[in-house]
Amino acid sequence: MHAINWFEIPATDLDRAFGFYSKILNGNVRKGTFGNGELILFNVPFGTGEAVGGSIVVRADLTPTTNGPVIYLNAFGPLSHAVARVEEAGGKVLAGEMNLGKFGYAGIIIDSEGNKIGLISHER
């Protein structure tokens, strides 16, 4: 069991968000559909319960924000590599590297859509 079962990150431009997350997460996102809408999924085994799943979506009831909870995404490689690609991909780095001891390293960014997002990795 996980404390979180599913999360949604709001976007205003799904293609721009796909480009951003594809670049910083080393291509570990994919486009998909649910119901009548398109979304972006993270390449993790959420269907088996091994990982928490989530998506990036454009919905009228969701607005990108820097004032809500911070979701920490797997950097899918060294944190420094993901952080180095953030500004080139259209985002902003707020905190490039925080040493979390045995939990690895984390950074805080603003994504291409205006959300405050955390990145985490066991690799510096």
- State the pLDDT at residue 50: 87
Domains and CATH numbers, the chain: 6-121 (3.10.180.10)
Residue 49, Ramachandran bin (φ over 0: left; ψ between -120 and 50: alpha; else beta): left
The helix (H) or strand (E) run that includes residue 39 is strand 37-42
Residue 56 φ/ψ, nearest 5 degrees: -110, 130
Over its length of 124 residues, how does the chain's per-residue pLDDT go in tens digits? 789 999 999 999 999 999 999 999 999 999 999 988 999 999 998 888 888 999 999 999 999 999 999 999 999 999 999 999 999 999 999 999 999 999 999 999 999 999 999 999 999 9
Residue 115 φ/ψ, nearest 5 degrees: -95, 140
Tell me: the pLDDT tens digits for 49-68? 888 999 999 999 999 999 99
Residue 119 φ/ψ, nearest 5 degrees: -120, 140
